[in-house]
Chains A and B, each alone.
Chain A
Amino acid sequence: MKEPEAHIVVEDLTMAFGTNIVQQNLTFTINRGDIFIIMGGSGCGKSTLMRHLVGLHRPCKGRVLYDGISFWDGDEEERQRVLRHVGVMYQSGALWSSMTLAENIGLLLEEYMGVDTEKAREVASLKLALVGLAGFEDYYPSEISGGMKKRASIARAMALDPDILFLDEPSGGLDPISGRMLDDLILELRATLGTTIVVITHELASIFAIGTNSVFLDTDTKTMTASGDPKVLRATCENDTIQNFLTRGEGRVKQRAERNGVAACLDQRAKVGG
């Protein structure tokens, strides 16, 4: 294996909406060819972190470096140049609702590759087939199910064969088989194109199947509490929250409040002050 090469470096990043701090002091590195998992409880700021990485929110503090170049210190054109090699799949899909699936993907190809409409449609069909949506070219986003929207959105994110692919909860709302297919697709993309893939997900099976590196965002302390290979984290990490997360609360650390010991829990809560 050759030496890992840093692709995205996050340095001391703090994110906030007004005075409400979402996460602070995030420092981690995403290497080229990583499948990097961003995990954490609901509402801990995973999507927000992604929005900071792809240039939709300016950080309140800290830097984001793409290939050693500070993303937010450059001008708009510099950012566009970086984003040209970034594909993003949003949590809600965010397909352009006035266009069919083929047009959604084709727009990017026409815009950047300068290909004509016919060629764009061909490539769009291919990308849709890759996510298991062959034959849905002429459907509008409102005509397909939530899970299909997610997949179509992944197809759109892959349209320009990006160097970095951001996927926000790609398997949320997918059935287990489709979820598994998606994992295979992600592994294929990395193997064939060497794409760096950043995945936000809660699916434990998928985290351990594909993740090569990860960061865990904690809701209570509002900062990252661990990073590294998720399998290693599960085996070695001593932090209760992370252990609970990675083992669905069934791991070495038993939850203190057992369901049937309710009265005890109740008494204890009352004592500690509700």
Chain B
Amino acid sequence: MPGIHEVQGEIERGPSLRKLGFDSKNLDFWDSGFVSFLIRVIRICGERDIEVTGEGLPEGAQRLIGLALAVPERREPGKDEKITPSLVLVTGGRVMKIWASLMETLTFVGETATAFLRLFGGKARFKGSDFLLVVQESGAGALPIVSLISLLVGLILAFVGSIQLRMFGAQIYIADLVAIAMARAMGAIMTGIIMAGRTGAAFAARIGTMQVNEEIDALKTAGIPPMEFLVLPRILALALMMPLLTLYADLMGILGGMIVGVGGFGIGLVEYFNETRKALTLANIWIGLFSSLIFGVLIAVAGCLRGMRCGRSASAVGDTTTSAVVTSIVSIIIATALITIGCDVLGI
């Protein structure tokens, strides 16, 4: 069988045709590929006012073609015209997109703030059971993985620190290093990243799926504001659980450091404990807890924002989840940087 372009070329180049027929006497097998080829030939002929007769074709193929051509092809304006965009257009489009997403985020933050105001004014409502469920899922459910990760981070910190400290025979300062690093930053950051992947993604997927199923619309028309019903309990729950989990992560990290210090470098248990206590000032712990509170809010807002802005298809839910996790992690790192610089400036 010739390719469609050959036929097209033949029709264009050859003497002006009036009529086109088919000869399929020697054809003993055909499939949909054959029919779609014929339809394209017929369309090409149609554009050039060439009459086509289907008589030479197998009976079944004729019928299928008839069915396929019974309804005219639908042409959406704007669906099939493909513009090759210039650099300016691409850049402009990107900027517009970034601008739109910035405005979207600001709107969402504004809506969240309004919802919180209504909550403090005693007007907002959500189900207490929802709040507790999120607390359970995001808090207790995350304990095993938080334990594992923080313990290992404590171990790693101790080992890495020991490389330098051992040269001066100052192994005992491993305790200080691990305690300060965990309490001040690492505990909160690691917990934040775990929660972003675990809970932030779950929020986005959950709310996104509700968006796809029109459940959010149903809430709206039932007069139940989704911002209050879905978003508030999630932000509150995560803002509550993040500091608690961080505190726990700090402990596990210090335990990890202790295992290395005591087991690997022969520091006495009591000695290590005392050194840790000296290093752990209240300021360090507060900074860590404050960061974790901020992270909790950031993760919950990112997850809920992406979920609420989800498109209406299954693939949109996937994109939403991805972007929720990416947004959370990036904002956690940026927030850490800002807090660290802020503390340095303030001299804490």
Contact = CB atoms under 8 A, between A and B. Distances in A.
Interface of A: 19-20, 51, 54-56, 80, 83-84, 86, 88, 90-97, 107-108, 111-112, 156, 257, 259, 261-263, 265-267, 269-274
A84 B54 contact: no
Nearest to B44: A274
Contacts of B125: 111
B218 A19 contact: no
Q: Name the residue in B53, B78, B210, B221 with the highest tally of chain A Cβ atoms < 10 Å from its Cβ.
A: B221
Contacts of A266: 42, 52, 54, 62, 65-66, 69
Given A83-B222, A263-B62, A273-B46, 16 more contacts: A20-B76, A20-B78, A83-B223, A88-B221, A88-B222, A259-B67, A265-B66, A265-B70, A266-B52, A266-B66, A266-B69, A269-B42, A269-B46, A269-B69, A270-B52, A271-B51
B220 interface: yes
Contacts of B277: none
A267 B54 contact: yes
B69 A94 contact: no
B97 interface: no
Contact of B218 (A96, A111, A263, A274): A96
Interface in B27-78: 42-43, 45-47, 49-55, 62-63, 65-67, 69-70, 73, 76-78
Given A271-B46, A274-B43, A263 B54 contact: yes
B73 A274 contact: yes
Given A20-B76, A94-B215, A259-B66, A270 B50 contact: yes
B214 interface: yes
Q: Chain B, interface size: which category?
A: 35 or more
Contact of B53 (A93, A267, A274): A267
B62 A262 contact: yes
B221 A272 contact: no
A80 B49 CA distance: 59
B101 interface: no
Given A257-B66, A274-B46, A274-B69, A267 B51 contact: yes
Contact of A265 (B69, B217, B224): B69
B136 interface: no
Given A262-B65, A266-B52, A107 B46 contact: no
A111 B224 CA distance: 8
28 contacts: A54-B221, A56-B217, A56-B220, A84-B223, A88-B221, A90-B214, A90-B218, A91-B214, A93-B213, A94-B213, A95-B215, A96-B218, A97-B215, A108-B222, A259-B67, A262-B54, A262-B62, A263-B55, A266-B42, A266-B54, A266-B65, A269-B42, A269-B69, A270-B45, A272-B46, A273-B46, A273-B49, A274-B69
